[in-house]
């Protein structure tokens, strides 16, 4: 006899046995948070629980919150539920949340990717009976190139621009994507400048021990002419703005899984699009689901209908769960 360990409410994913919510989008008493992106870690909850690696970013973004922490893999009894957090590989500190009640195990994935990126804690498959999975890129067209190949293209673009006397302005979400790109670039090509939103996040992660190359914060009194051929990393909203025009002649690029789609590249109006995502691609989603051993799959945010239909043809019991989580193109939420 299976138990409904987690249910889906208008406030978010709820566990009655422990009286808590996972990544709720409306204020609740107790919120378990998978990671610090704004569509998952929202303000207004009375109590928060997350990994110790996630907490500093949450405090940076949400201010003076009441937050408890656990280490990856550490079991915590909450009411009648046994809870643990396991690496999701989405960004530093991100987790999947495992919930066990009376021997029945459910896992809420949050956002994840299965390929190591060199900075995030690598994804860890968690066996379960029911798996709540994102499917932001749940179509076969989404298949990512190897990170080393993207890095080579990115560095070549930057080096060419630097040789031609141009700045290289790269749009990337300030939490997760920006730091991943920083870990990929060749700092010998030239100086690396950062928008305040990126640099503030860098400071939080550096203080935790995450390794990033040296960067220069673009402040109002910084003379950008002192840093020719620079790589400039900024939130996507800064591309094409007055802020970006201060760098003079430049080439612009945007880094996102959506760059796989030609129409999105055109709409972004950047010179280059680098296809790189902190979400699983189609093969990654299939790999993660298979490794859980779960029979019941709940698809959230993304191509949910198509994805669930496909899973049902493969012998899974799959259904769609509506959520208020964003996607990789949600700039306001910086949901990389």
pLDDT over 50 at 336, yes or no: no
> Which of 186, 166, 180 lies closest to 244, judged by CA?
166
Total Cβ atoms within 10 A of residue 330: 16
Backbone angles phi, psi at 184, to 5 degrees: -95, -25
SS3 percent helix, strand, coil of the chain, rounded to 5, is: 25, 25, 50
Report the half-sphere exposure of 300 (CA within 13 A, side-chain side): 23
- SS3 of 67, please? strand
Q: Range with the lowest mean pLDDT among 2-11, 88-97, 134-143, 180-189?
A: 2-11
Prediction pTM value = 0.94
Contacts of 223 (CB under 8 A, 6+ apart): none
Which has the higher per-residue pLDDT, 53 or 240?
53
The CATH class for the domain spanning 7-141+279-333 reads alpha beta
The confidence score (pLDDT) of residue 331 equals 40
Lowest mean pLDDT among 116-125, 205-214, 235-244, 308-317: 235-244
What number of residues does the chain have? Answer: 336
- In the prediction, which pLDDT does 19 show? 98
Q: Taking residues 308-331, report their average pLDDT.
A: 82
Q: Which two tokens stand for residue 145?
A: 């190139």
Q: Compare 170 and 331 and report the one with higher pLDDT.
A: 170
Q: For residues 272 and 269, which has the higher predicted lDDT (pLDDT)?
A: 272
Question: Which pLDDT score is estimated for 334?
Answer: 39
Q: What is the pLDDT at residue 263?
A: 67
What pLDDT does residue 265 have? 61
More confident residue, 201 or 333: 201
Distance (Å, whole) CA 20 – CA 32: 7
Residue extents of the structural domains in the chain: 7-141+279-333, 147-274
pLDDT for the residue numbered 327 = 59
* pLDDT score, position 113: 98
Mean per-residue pLDDT for 256-265?
81
In Å, what is the CA distance from 120 to each residue of 3, 202, 224, 326? 33, 14, 31, 21
What pLDDT does residue 322 have? 82
**DSSP code for 139:** S
What's the pLDDT score for residue 262? 74
Residue 97 pLDDT greater than 60, yes or no = yes
Contacts for 25 with CB less than 8 Å, ≥ 6 apart: 11, 12, 39, 42, 323, 324, 325
pLDDT for residue 200 is more than 50: yes
The pLDDT tens digits of the residues spanning 127-186 come to 999 999 999 999 999 999 999 999 999 999 999 999 999 999 999 999 999 999 999 999
Does 197 have pLDDT greater than 80? yes
Range 147-274 classified under CATH 3.20.20.140? no
Q: How many CA atoms lie within 13 A of 47 on its CB side?
A: 8
- Fold matches, 7-141+279-333 and 147-274: no
């Amino acid at each position: 006899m299976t138990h409904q360990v987690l249910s889906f409410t208008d406030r978010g994913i709820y566990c009655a046995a422990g009286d808590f919510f996972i990544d709720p989008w409306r204020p609740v008493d107790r919120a378990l948070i998978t990671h610090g992106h704004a569509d998952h870690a929202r303000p207004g909850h009375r109590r928060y629980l997350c990994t110790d690696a996630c907490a500093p970013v949450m405090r940076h973004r949400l201010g003076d919150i009441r937050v408890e922490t656990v280490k990856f893999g550490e079991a915590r009894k909450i009411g009648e539920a046994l809870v643990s957090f396991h690496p999701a590989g989405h960004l530093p500190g991100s987790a999947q949340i495992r919930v066990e009640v009376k021997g029945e195990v459910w896992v809420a994935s949050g956002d994840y990717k299965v390929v190591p990126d060199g900075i995030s804690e690598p994804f860890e498959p968690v066996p379960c009976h029911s798996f709540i999975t994102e499917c932001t890129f749940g179509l076969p067209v989404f298949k990512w190139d190897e990170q080393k190949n993207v890095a080579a293209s990115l560095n070549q673009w930057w080096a060419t621009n630097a040789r031609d006397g141009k700045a290289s302005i790269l749009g990337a979400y300030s939490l997760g994507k920006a730091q991943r790109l920083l870990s990929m670039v060749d700092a010998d090509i030239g100086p690396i400048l950062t928008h305040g939103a990126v640099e503030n996040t860098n400071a939080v992660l550096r203080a935790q021990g995450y390794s990033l190359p040296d960067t220069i914060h673009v402040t109002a009194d910084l003379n950008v002419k002192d840093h020719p051929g620079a790589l400039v990393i900024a939130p996507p909203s800064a591309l094409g703005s007055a802020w970006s025009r201060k760098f003079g002649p430049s080439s612009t690029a945007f880094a996102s899984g959506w760059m796989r789609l030609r129409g999105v590249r055109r709409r972004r109006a950047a010179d280059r699009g680098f296809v790189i995502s902190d979400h699983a691609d189609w093969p990654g989603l299939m790999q993660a689901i298979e490794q859980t051993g779960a029979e019941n799959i709940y698809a959230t945010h993304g191509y949910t209908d198509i994805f669930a239909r496909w899973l049902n043809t493969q012998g899974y019991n799959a259904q769609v769960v509506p959520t208020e989580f964003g996607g990789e193109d949600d700039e306001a939420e910086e949901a990389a």
